[in-house]
Amino acid sequence: MKALDTNVLIRYLVQDDPAQGRKAATYIEAAAAAREQILISNIVLCETVWVLESAYGYATQEIESVIQKLLQTSTFQFQAKDIVSAAFEEYRGAKVDFADCLIGQIHASLGCEPTVTFDAALRKLDTFQML
């Protein structure tokens, strides 16, 4: 299985650097043609969402659309696709950071009690509780 760093995934998605964008697309398309899998790890996914929000000004809806396309592409694999999907459901509705949603969903999937936090914005999520 292959894997991508965040900067390669961003170049592929945004195509803001023509040379790097082409290299990223060629790599991903070659893997797809060879029916090879490419892992997008949880950390890379969190960084990608953060970069799209902070550096490129993507709205939550735009980010969700991008990530949904990645989730539906058979070439891309995720550490736990169902957990990522659940985290995006929360992210869409709760107006909190995606990374927090993913943290809560991962912990819940491992059988943890709600994750304790000092972040008041997370009280909206069932996977967190205020300490």
Scanning 34-97, the segments in alpha helix (DSSP H) are: 42-54, 60-72, 81-94
Residue-wise pLDDT for 28-67, tens only, equals: 999 999 999 999 999 999 999 999 999 999 998 899 899 9
pLDDT of residue 95: 84
Query: pLDDT tier at 16 (50, 70, 90 boundaries)?
Result: very high
Q: What pLDDT score does 107 carry?
A: 97
What tokens does 31 get? 């893997």
Mean pLDDT of 104-110: 97
CA angle, 18 then 30 then 7, to 5°: 45
In this structure, what are the phi and psi dihedrals at residue 122, rounded to the nearest 5 degrees? -85, -5
